[in-house]
């Protein structure tokens, strides 16, 4: 056989696997919504893993979009909820995730001491900052703000200190757009104090904006001065136990304390390692400025941590509905 006839045959052999694959599967666009199976409330920033390592997450309204192979399966995961895997072919429009059921009433003798877990979790956060407070990480940032003057959208890659809370963020590259009402502008997260918003956490360092705010994971000794604390034990993934601790304001706060900015919410802590995994928080008396005036409002946020480097590094933070901000590790 001559080289003249060999080339077409080789090309055919190389392409055959692709044709065979395309004959049995195809890429399709998928969209849907994920909600809490118990309350029906949309779940923001749920992690979604498709075949071939594709990842995405839901937005602030619990909606998601992605392209996946018709033969793939999608895995939906969120701390505090049971993981769910569904084949693309069987995918419903609405996905309901079941929250972990509590074990506290079922188990009278439990080796996990919730107070000890909480105290160690606070100590671990402090130790992580002391050891690696200057460790940086790169993130993808997205913000959507709808105001009377117009709609603001910003997307950027940023670099920031990431241990315990995001801070000292620096824009690497990004874009910004306005609708026709507002004209055009230059990417400047600082003009809207967005860089201050993303510094929020149940414990913060090097953030002048949140320094004087009351935060639940700052000091275990003074915790009960401000908060009612209630803990539950939850079955976690892979057989581990989660300690879910709720922090609500005491009703007898003084008028001065009621005027201060403060964070309440729910922490999810690994009961064995005493590592904080996620915190769903609400910030009361956060002041926003506009047209020379400032007024108090409430913002909600969710912050998640990973321990790839053996420290509490922020892997994801979302702030809603005030600004629709999402910051995720690259």
Label residues 63-101 b or e (16+ Cβ within 10 Å = b).
Answer: ebebebbeebbbebbbbbbeebeeebeeeeeebbbebbe
Sign of the Cα torsion 285, 286, 287, 289 reads negative
Q: What angle do CA 152, 202, 212 make, to 5 degrees?
A: 85
- Tokens 């910004």 belong to 176
Q: With pLDDT > 70 as the criterion, what percentage of the chain qualifies?
A: 74
- For 115-171, the pLDDT digits (tens) are 999 999 999 999 999 999 999 999 988 887 766 666 777 788 999 999 999 999 888
Q: What CA–CA distances, in Å, run from 86 to 21, 37, 93, 314?
A: 21, 16, 12, 28
Pull the structure tokens for residue 3: 């080289």
Contacts for 109 with CB less than 8 Å, ≥ 6 apart:
none
Structural domains in the chain, CATH included, are: 27-97 (2.60.40.1120), 114-329 (no CATH)
d(CA 121, CA 107): 23
Q: What integer pLDDT is reported at residue 6 of this predicted model?
A: 35
Q: Long-range CB contacts (< 8 A, 24+ apart) of 149-153?
A: 149/181, 149/182, 150/178, 150/179, 150/180, 150/181, 150/182, 151/178, 151/179, 151/181, 151/182, 152/176, 152/177, 152/178, 152/182, 152/192, 153/177, 153/178
- Tokens 């992580």 belong to 128
d(CA 293, CA 295): 7
Q: What integer pLDDT is reported at residue 295 of this predicted model?
A: 60
Query: Residue 62 has what DSSP assignment?
Result: S
d(CA 25, CA 53): 17
Task: Compute how many other C-beta atoms are within 10 angstroms of the C-beta atom of residue 320.
Answer: 18
Q: What is the mean pLDDT of the chain?
A: 79
Peptide linkage before 187 cis (omega within 30 of 0): no
- For 219-229, the pLDDT digits (tens) are 999 898 899 99
Q: Element (H or E) spanning 122, and its range?
A: helix 114-132
d(CA 308, CA 176): 32
- For 295-328, the pLDDT digits (tens) are 667 788 999 999 999 999 999 898 876 556 777 7
Task: Compute how many other C-beta atoms are within 10 angstroms of the C-beta atom of residue 119.
Answer: 15
Q: What integer pLDDT is reported at residue 78 of this predicted model?
A: 84
d(CA 146, CA 318): 17
d(CA 248, CA 130): 28
Q: pTM score, two decimals?
A: 0.74
- For 85-119, the pLDDT digits (tens) are 998 888 888 899 988 765 544 443 345 688 999 99
Region 205-214: mean pLDDT is 91
Q: Which of residues 245 and 180 earns the better pLDDT score?
A: 245
- Backbone φ and ψ of 237, nearest 5°: -70, 145
């Amino acid at each position: 056989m001559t080289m003249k006839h060999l080339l077409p045959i080789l090309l055919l052999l190389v392409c055959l696997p692709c044709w065979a694959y395309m004959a049995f599967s195809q890429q399709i666009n998928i969209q849907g919504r994920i909600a809490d199976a118990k309350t029906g409330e949309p779940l923001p920033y749920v992690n979604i893993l498709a075949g071939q390592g594709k990842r995405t997450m839901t937005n602030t309204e619990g909606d998601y979009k992605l392209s996946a192979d018709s033969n793939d399966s999608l895995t939906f995961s969120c701390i505090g909820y049971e993981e769910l895997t569904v084949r693309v072919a069987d995918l419903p429009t609405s996905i309901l995730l079941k929250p972990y059921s509590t074990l506290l009433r079922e188990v009278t003798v439990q080796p996990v001491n919730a107070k000890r877990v909480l105290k160690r979790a606070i100590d671990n956060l402090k130790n992580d900052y002391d050891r690696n407070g200057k460790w940086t990480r790169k993130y993808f940032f997205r913000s959507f703000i709808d105001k009377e003057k117009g709609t603001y959208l910003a997307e950027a890659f940023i670099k920031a200190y990431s241990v315990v809370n995001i801070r000292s963020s620096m824009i690497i590259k990004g874009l910004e757009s306005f609708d026709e009402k507002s004209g055009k502008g230059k990417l400047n997260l600082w003009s809207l104090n967005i860089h201050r918003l993303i510094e929020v956490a149940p414990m913060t360092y090097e953030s002048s904006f949140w320094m004087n705010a009351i935060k639940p994971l700052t000091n275990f000794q003074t915790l009960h001065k401000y908060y009612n604390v209630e803990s539950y034990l939850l079955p976690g993934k892979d057989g581990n136990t989660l300690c879910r601790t709720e922090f609500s304001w005491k009703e007898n706060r003084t008028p001065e304390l009621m005027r201060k900015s403060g964070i309440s919410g729910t922490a999810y802590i690994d009961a064995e390692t005493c590592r904080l995994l996620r915190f769903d928080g609400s910030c009361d008396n956060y002041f926003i400025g506009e047209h020379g005036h400032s007024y108090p409002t409430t913002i909600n946020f969710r912050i998640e941590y990973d321990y790839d480097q053996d420290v509490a590094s922020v892997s994801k933070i979302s702030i809603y509905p005030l600004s629709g901000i999402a910051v995720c590790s690259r």
